[in-house]
Amino acid sequence: MTEVKKREGESLNSLLFRFRKKIKQQGVLKETKKRRFHSRPLNKRKKRLAAIYRFGKMEELKRLRKLSYFKER
């Protein structure tokens, strides 16, 4: 846990600056971002089902483009 105590006569802005600097130096921000966006590896069955779903969506889009419902980008 990072702790920064306010010095006598110190402004709030300088206190926040010191706090952010300490957090950055300790690598806390990097670690939290890494944990926030970490996802568990999918098992084979879920990967396969996701691929089938994506393929089906692609085929549906192709069909709709052919019928002029969507324009090419």
| Tokens coding 54 | 């994506």
pLDDT value at 55 more than 90: yes
Per-residue model confidence as pLDDT tens digits over 14-54: 999 999 999 999 998 888 888 888 888 889 999 999 999 99
CB 5 within 8 A of CB 26: no
- Supply the pLDDT for residue 72: 63
- Supply the pLDDT for residue 6: 92
Q: How far apart are CA 71 and CA 64, in angstroms?
A: 9
Q: What global pTM score does this model have?
A: 0.46
Q: In the 8-state DSSP scheme, what is residue 67?
A: T
- Supply the pLDDT for residue 17: 94
pLDDT value at 57 more than 90: yes
